[in-house]
Structures are given as C-alpha cells and as structure tokens.
C-alpha cells in the first residue's frame, strides 16, 4: 500500500501544471520610450498588458507604461459604459492609484500602476466577450 500511494503521488506531481517561466520582454531596446511605443502598437489590450508585464521596471517608470495600457484597453469599453458603470470603473481605478499612497518608494507607484492597468484589462475582457472582438492599431 505504501509503494502504490507513493507512485500515485509521484504521477500526480509529474502531471501537475508547471509554473510558467517569466515572460521575456519582447522589446529589444529596453527603454521607456521603446516599450511605450510597443504597447501603443499592440493589436489588443491583452497584448499590450503582456508587453507591460514582461517589460515592467517595478519602479515609477511603470506609470507611463500603465497609462499606455489603460488607453489601449479603454478603447474597447469606455464608450460602451453607462453612467453607473463608468462611475464604478473610475472608482476601481482610483482605488488602485491610492492603494499604496502611504508607502514610500517607487515600487509602490509601480504596484498602483499595475493594479490600474489590470482593472482596465478586466473591463476590456468583459466588454470584448459581450460586444465582439475589436482590434486597435
């Protein structure tokens, strides 16, 4: 019984999903301007967020990158929101930007920016599912 339980656990462990390796930044020139340009050229909100996550500095430099992602994602849904949905979106976004307001250090600005970009991405996903795919170039 001990050996069969061990073999069962071993086979389950081998079949378990492996954690994905961190994505490598697809922007060869790892400058803020180049990354921001790549985000702007992304064909979708999802792709812009992937670039942002892979190229993030985890510092205050992430703020303009997040704003570029937010702009890309908002194109999918912002004009489709009614007044109460827009207010809810703005409140969620503001909550992100204030999340670490009492913390010092640039990494906290990055965390706030990543949070706000994530909110925009979530809204984009929701509206892309219900409203049909729309690509931005």
* Distance, CA of 123 to CA of 69 (rounded, Å): 12
Q: pLDDT means per 10 residues in the chain (137 residues)?
A: 48 49 86 97 98 97 98 97 97 97 96 98 92 45
For residue 28, how many other CB atoms are within 10 A of its CB? 7
pLDDT of res. 2: 55
Residue 13 pLDDT: 47
* CA distances from residue 9 to 1, 4, 78, 95 in whole angstroms, order as listed: 12, 9, 48, 43
What residue has token string 């706030």? 112
Q: What is the pLDDT of residue 103?
A: 96
> Which residues, 6+ apart, have CB-to-CB distance to 67 below 8 Å?
113
Q: What is the predicted pLDDT for the residue at 65?
A: 98
Q: Are 123 and 69 in contact (CB under 8 A)?
A: no
Report which secondary-structure segment, H or E, holds 130: helix 106-131
Three-class secondary structure assignment of 28-52: CCCCHHHHHHHHHHCCCHHHHHHHH
pLDDT at 129: 85
Give the CA count within 13 Å in the CB-facing half-sphere of 125. Answer: 10
- Provide the 8-state DSSP code for 78: G
- The radius of gyration computed from the CA coordinates of the chain, to the nearest angstrom, equals 19
């Amino acid at each position: 019984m001990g050996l069969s339980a061990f073999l069962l656990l071993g086979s389950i462990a081998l079949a378990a999903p492996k954690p994905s390796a961190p994505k490598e930044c697809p922007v060869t020139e790892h400058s803020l301007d180049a990354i921001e340009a790549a985000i702007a050229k992304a064909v979708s909100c999802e792709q812009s967020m992937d670039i942002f996550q892979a190229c993030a500095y985890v510092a205050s430099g992430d703020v303009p990158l997040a704003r570029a992602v937010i702009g890309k994602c908002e194109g999918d849904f912002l004009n489709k929101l009614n007044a109460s949905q827009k207010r809810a979106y703005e409140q969620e976004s503001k909550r992100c930007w204030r999340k670490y307001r009492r913390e010092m250090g640039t990494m906290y600005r990055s965390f706030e920016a990543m949070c706000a970009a994530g909110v925009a991405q979530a809204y984009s996903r929701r509206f892309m599912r219900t409203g049909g795919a729309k690509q931005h170039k």
